[in-house]
Each structure stands twice: as structure tokens, then as C-alpha cells.
Structure 1
């Protein structure tokens, strides 16, 4: 573990975790690739708003962060610089609404040294006796916003899974620091799992609090932790009303959403005959790709400026 010590500094004494019969849970959400709709980041921010967690481990962000690819913000005032938003990748000791302690790893996804990052998190897991590591993420998918948020769950052991996944068989996907971390933790004998929310592709670049709620509800199910999700649900309802108002003004976008609804409903409709294939969505005349693209540009612009719907 000598390499890990290069990448992380861990607080030696954390009295809140001493004398417990079971180890804490480590929840992690990283800004970057695996966060469509900003869902995982919204979930992490919500947890941070409910517990003033102190830092118990700090990862050497300079070893992981590509400053030229993701330049941090800073403020220039008249004739001088100030308020530099330095990136931080830290583990905080948090408490749920019942006072149960857990760990939260949050910050930017590492751009480099992924193996070093995994080793550093392993050092944290073994130092604090973490019993389960849970990842939060989200990806854009061809799903409608008018249906329940779907989740894919994944784990280092089948016994950790809590639901059937939509995907069957094998699929090649781009790797992420989170996915490599889970793979390595499993190889090192540590229990790890996670949830990936499916975000409607037409709103994937905007905040989607509804998915953050679904992710945290699933994390509650597998960890026994509990949080007040009321404010997040309210934010989700507000965003849904905003999306509905924008879609109402575009017949072409409504057609696309209706097509996605038919596809979703057909997939989830129980089969009437054993072994029969899932029914296909009803055929309908859809606008061309260029027409859809133009309408979605107007739709997204409206979401970006909800106070000026005329634009």
C-alpha cells in the first residue's frame, strides 16, 4: 500500500467510527463522465446539505486532475485575482437523519492515475473498515421523462443486487474511474456496488433532481441509511413542470416523447403469452432528424431560460 500513501492522506483517529460492531458504508459520487442530468452530483450535494461532515481523508487532487481540460473558475475584480475554486477530492464523515455515521467521497472524477486512485480509495476502505462501497451515477438514455426513473444496479457479487436490470447479455462501454474502482475493490475482496440512473437524453445536460431521488432511495434500501429527501423531491417536481411546459409548445418534441412512452410501456407490459416477444411500439409518422434537431434546440434553449419562454 506504499503507492496509495502517495495519493491520499487519512486522518488517524475518528472516534465516531470506533467501537462499532459493523463498519461504515462509503458512498461516492464523482463529477464528470458518469453524471448525466447532474443526478449524482445533486444527490451528493443534498447529502452535504443535511450533514456538516468533516474531512477524514483527502486525495492528492493534483495527481488526478487535468487543469487544462477542466479549468477551475476564479474571480477577477478590477485589477486583481481572487476566489480561486480549487478542486478537491475528499472523503467526509457524514451522518444520516438518525445519526448513523457513513463516509462520502466526492469531487471531480480523476482524469489520470486511475489505478492510483483505486489504490487510494482501497486504503480508505481498509483503514476505516468499510463494509460496503456504493457508487452513484447516471447516463443519458432514450427514455421519456413522463415515466418512472429506471436504474441499472451493478455489484462485485450477485448477492448485492436488489433488482433485475433492463440490460441482458454483454455490452462494451467506455470505462470510468468509478467503474474501475468497483472492479478493483472486488478483486481485492471488498464488497462494492452502485446505481446508474437512466436520464432522458433530451434533458441530460440539465439538472434532473428526480433521478437523484431515485438513486438515493436505492442507496437507502441497500445500506439502511435514511435521509430527508423532501427538498429534492420538490426540486424534481418543479423541474418536471418546467419540462412539461416547454414540451407543450412543440408538437414535434411531443411526438418524440410519445414514441418513447410507447416504447417504454411496451417493454414493461406483461407478456400475454409465455415466451412471446415484447410488443413493439405502434408505428407512427415521425418528423425528420433535422426537424427533430431544430425543435430540440428550441426546447433546450427554453429550459436554459425558463424566465424568458418567448425566446
Structure 2
């Protein structure tokens, strides 16, 4: 069997030595692009799993309206009150048993000067020898919480689409910072892929562990990294049980969830084929053979279950998505 094509293999094939190990930049921003905090939480999980070290971030005052993205007052470990400002943090981690690193970017979607912000981010990417970009997002959608949460992959690069089996986004309309980043990164010649998870709109408040889990499974498929997802799988099961309890107590919500279940089941029924099952089994094998922790990875089937790759959401920035599905830091 041939080795699976991943984003990292595309990067490895095109990388030239620059004195710094090549890296793949993985990006998530709180705000419009982050329903239920699923994308930013997935990146936080990846940062913890890879023991990433913090680098210098991107300046704050030039890009944020603090009346919109308000700072938070918290107490540190010594009990002193400190102000935590909305910012963009950057981390770097080596991927074991590979010649690649990850450059992890986690921040709050900026308010001002998006073009300058993206230019500064891509300049940092050049210094860090970034050779590919992965954008993480989550959107509110008409999906039931009782079914496997969908995470789709898309790219505007035909080479990336063919290699990874990604779809092409056909959306036209208002976009978030991830849409701008993807366009600029591709214009700079960087292979770019986006992962978007759907979050049930009637339980949009964070956390959304089931959507986070779907994003992390996609990351395992596209990067040579193994993640211990046992605890997150348990959180997703507990989250689903909690939403079930709330829905049971409201007849209108229960009826609406049943309607969504029926619509999704009818849509996916033609995909319940031997080919779809084979594709899902191949995804499972890819996750199992990733380097790193294996504990709990196979437990994800308790939540995700065998399924056909979902049809991509119509858009990561649908007009009926609220302006701020996430919560500002």
C-alpha cells in the first residue's frame, strides 16, 4: 500500500534548505471564524500535545479595538491581578521522527488593518521557513448534536485538492480573517488547506468538544502527528448527554432536533456504501499509524463513528452566521 498523501508530504516534496527546519503554519482565530471556540480549542490542544515553545507574537495596539475585543482581568499564579490583552501568539514545535516543525498561530481576529496584519504574519512565516498553511475554523450550521460533527477540508489550489481529496469552496460574500489569510498565502505560493467544523447553532456557546474532536481528527489525517484524544472523547460524550437532557425538557427543541436528524440521515443515506466505509477505515488507519500517543485515538469512534466524508459546508462564512460566534479573549 502506498503511503498516504498528507499536507506534510506535499511540503517535504517542495522544500529547499534555508538554514531553518521547514514548518507548516497552523492558524486559528477567536471570533467570527470560531463557533463554539472549537477551532481555537483544537489549536490549543495541538500546542499542548506537541510541547510547543512560545515565540514573539504580533503587536496588539495596531490591530485591535479594545471596546470590541475587550481585555480581561485575571489573577496569576501568585494571586496578582493582571490584564490579559487580546493578541496573536506564535509557537513552534518539532514533529518527532520528521524533518518538519509546526508553527502554531492562535489569536483573536483583528479589528483593524487586516492587510497589514496578514503581511506581518506572512513575513514571520518566511523567517520561520513556513512551507505550507493549515487554517482551522468552525461555523454555526443546521446540524443535529446527536450525529457525528462534520469537519470538511477545502483549498483553492487544484494541486492540493487533487492530492488531499479536498473540495473547492464556492462561497461568495463576507469573509473572516481566515479567508483573507488563505488568499494571501496561496498568492505567496504556499500550499494552503482549510479545515472547517460545523457546530449546531442551537448550542453555539463554548465549549464544543465534539466539533473540536472532528477538527483534531482531520489534523491527524493531514499531519504526521498522533494525539491522545481519550479525555476529549469523554468530554464530547458528556457534552452530548448534557444537550440531550436539555432538549428532552423542551418539546419544541426536541422536535427540531428530530427534524434535523431526519434531514441529515436522508442526505447521507446514498453515501452508506462499501466505498464510503473503506474510506473511513483508511482514515482510521492513518490516525493509528501516526507517531506519538495512541491512547484514546481509537475511542473516537464512540463519538464520530464510521461515516462517509461529509459534503463540505457551503461556506465557512455563511451570511446567517452571527458576527461573533466565539467569545473575545
Normalising by structure 2, we get a TM-score of 0.69
Partner-residue secondary structure (3-state), 2:84: coil
- 1:222 lines up with 2:195 in the alignment: no
Aligned: 1:69 with 2:68 = yes
Counterpart for residue 119 of structure 2: 119
Is 2:53 the partner of 1:54? Answer: yes
Cα distance in structure 1, aligned partners of 2:203 and 2:178:
23
Matches of 2:20 and 2:70, distance apart in 1? 43
Q: Does 1:94 pair with 2:89?
A: no
Distance in 2 (CA, whole Å) between partners of 1:97 and 1:145 is 35
Which residue in 1 is equivalent to 2:233?
233
- Corresponding residue for residue 29 of structure 2: 30
Deviation at 1:19, TM superposition (A): 6.2
Give the equivalent residue in structure 2 for 1:174.
174
Q: Following TM superposition, by how much is the alpha carbon of 1:138 offset from its aligned partner in structure 2, in angstroms?
A: 0.4
Q: In the TM superposition, what whole-angstrom CA distance separates every residue of 1:42-71 from its partner, at most 9, and x where no partner exists?
A: 112212333442223421121111111121
* Structure 2: distance between partners of 1:159 and 1:237: 37
CA contact (8 A) 1:61 1:89 kept: yes
Map of 1:250 onto structure 2: 250
Partner in structure 2 of residue 84 of structure 1 = 83
Which residue of the partner structure matches residue 7 of structure 1? none
Contact 1:29 1:41 in 2 (8 A): yes
> Per the alignment, do residues 19 and 26 of structure 1 end up closer, same or farther by CA in structure 2, a change over 3 Å counting?
closer
Two-structure CA RMSD over aligned residues (Å): 2.5
The Cα of 1:265 is off from its aligned counterpart by 1.1
Residues 37, 96 of structure 1: alpha-carbon distance in 2 compared, 3 angstrom cutoff: farther
Query: What TM-score do you get using the length of structure 1 for normalisation?
Result: 0.73
CA distance, structure 2, for counterparts of residue 224 and residue 271 of structure 1: 28
Aligned to 1:199: 199
Q: Is the 8 A contact 1:96 1:226 kept in 2?
A: no
Task: Give the distance between the partners of 2:141 and 2:248, measured in 1 at CA.
Answer: 21
**Greater relative contact order (Cα 8 A, min sep 6): structure 1 or 2?**
2
Q: Distance in 2 between matches of 1:233 and 1:163?
A: 26
Q: For residues 228 and 98 of structure 1, do their structure 2 counterparts lie closer, same or farther at Cα, with a shift above 3 Å needed?
A: farther
Q: How far is the alpha carbon of 1:125 from its aligned partner?
A: 2.1
The residue number in structure 2 matching 1:45 is 44
* Structure 2 unaligned regions, length at least 5: 1-17, 273-329
Q: SS where residue 55 of structure 1 aligns? A: strand
Aligned residues: 248
4+ aligned runs moved over 4 Å, structure 1:
17-20, 95-100
